[in-house]
Amino acid sequence: MTTKTKKIRQTVARLDSIIKEYKDHTTPKKRDWKTYEEQYLKRIKTCFNEIKPLIDEACSVIKISRKEKRGASSKLNLKQKLTLLILKQFCGKSNRCMAGMLFLFSYLSDVEEISYKSIERLYEDPLVQCALFNLHILILKKKGIISADCCGDGTGYAISVEQYYAAHAKKLKEKGKINVRESKRKFIYSFAIMDIKTRMYVGFGTSLKSEKEAFLAALTMTRKTKIKIYSLRLDRYFSCESYAKLCTTELENVRIYLVPKSNIAKLGLGEWRRNVVRFMKNTFSFLKEYFQRNQSESGISEDKKRVGWKLQQKLENRIKTANSLTMLIHNLFWFGADV
């Protein structure tokens, strides 16, 4: 072990005291509740005023070409399908409840009575999935996000009412291992990369297998948006050279902020090495940047309060669509926020 590596381990070992000292020198911002409520009301109004024209524009660029028409024609057009799914996800209703309550939303969707099975099948409609991606890109473009400093975090959504993800994850961590088969059966993994300035998600991913797979999907989606990512902050689960390399492969010239683990063995190469050097040279400045990652944790909490901690879908394609709707609703709510 080199002298530099020993010094890094010593710094990490006293990280708790460094953080305490950092917090003592940092004055927390107090929330102005009057301003907060005014901003929140503005965001809601903007969300519902803009949702219909955004859906119209996202669907208008999709052209359907069919040489031969087979099967019964759908009662819904693409705009109606997308509108219906967004409303359903936002209301948090089951397929049966939504089918019965549809008349309440007739002034928005212009949809006649349909079965709950028809609503469920919308989650795996490829045109709906394409329109969702278009809508995601359109919202970011309308917001004017062409570059971003980002943070990211993962969570889990239950597909069974038997357990809550946070309690289950804590239990697994205490055991020191993850039972993949059990997790796959009861939870799905979700990862989102957030623009710190606007609090909007620029990329997200879903997996039935692991948080790593969801993270890789989020990186790929972020690259497809063609938004320039200057920096990325992740929790200590991703604090190793291999993840740093993955980030720089998908997001060119990105600066990462990862707190080294206590058992770090070497400085490594590339951006991981530069990250460790930044941590050592000016730990306070590094932590100031790193702790902006709290925005991601706040965003996850906000999402679960809005749409719940459970997904009602069971098939993989449908689960991914449901999670995409959750991320989309998050962005719609922050679309009208002042930045």
Question: What are the pLDDT digits (tens) for 18-35?
Answer: 777 767 666 667 766 667
Q: Is residue 332 in some structural domain?
A: no
Q: Is residue 106 in some structural domain?
A: no
Q: Is residue 122 in some structural domain?
A: no
Tokens (6 digits) for 9:
């381990």
Q: Would the pTM of this model clear 0.85, i.e. be above it?
A: no
Query: At 87, is the pLDDT very low, low, confident or very high (cuts 50, 70, 90)?
Result: confident
Q: Is residue 62 in some structural domain?
A: no
Q: Is residue 182 in some structural domain?
A: yes
Question: What are the pLDDT digits (tens) for 271-295?
Answer: 999 998 888 888 888 988 998 999 9
Query: At 102, is the pLDDT very low, low, confident or very high (cuts 50, 70, 90)?
Result: low
In the sheet with 200-207, reading across from the earlier edge strand, the strands are: 200-207, 187-195, 147-158, 228-233, 255-257
Tokens (6 digits) for 212:
């790593």
Question: What are the pLDDT digits (tens) for 37-73?
Answer: 777 777 777 777 888 888 889 998 888 776 545 656 7
The conformation of residue 122, written as its DSSP 8-state character, comes to: G
Mean pLDDT on 261-280: 83
In the prediction, which pLDDT does 107 show?
A: 46
Q: Is residue 54 in some structural domain?
A: no
Higher pLDDT, 7 or 314: 314
DSSP track, 39-80: HHHHHHHHHHHHHHHHHHHHHHT-----SS--SPPPSS-HHH
In the prediction, which pLDDT does 183 show?
A: 41
List the alpha helices (DSSP H) in the chain. Answer: 3-13, 15-24, 33-60, 78-91, 95-101, 106-109, 116-121, 126-143, 165-175, 180-186, 211-224, 241-250, 270-281, 283-290, 294-307, 316-334
Mean pLDDT score of the chain, rounded to an integer?
81
240: containing domain: 3-26+146-310
Q: Is residue 109 in some structural domain?
A: no
- Domain count along the chain: 1
Q: Is residue 104 in some structural domain?
A: no
Question: What are the pLDDT digits (tens) for 151-204?
Answer: 999 998 887 655 555 565 666 556 555 454 444 457 889 999 999 999 999 999
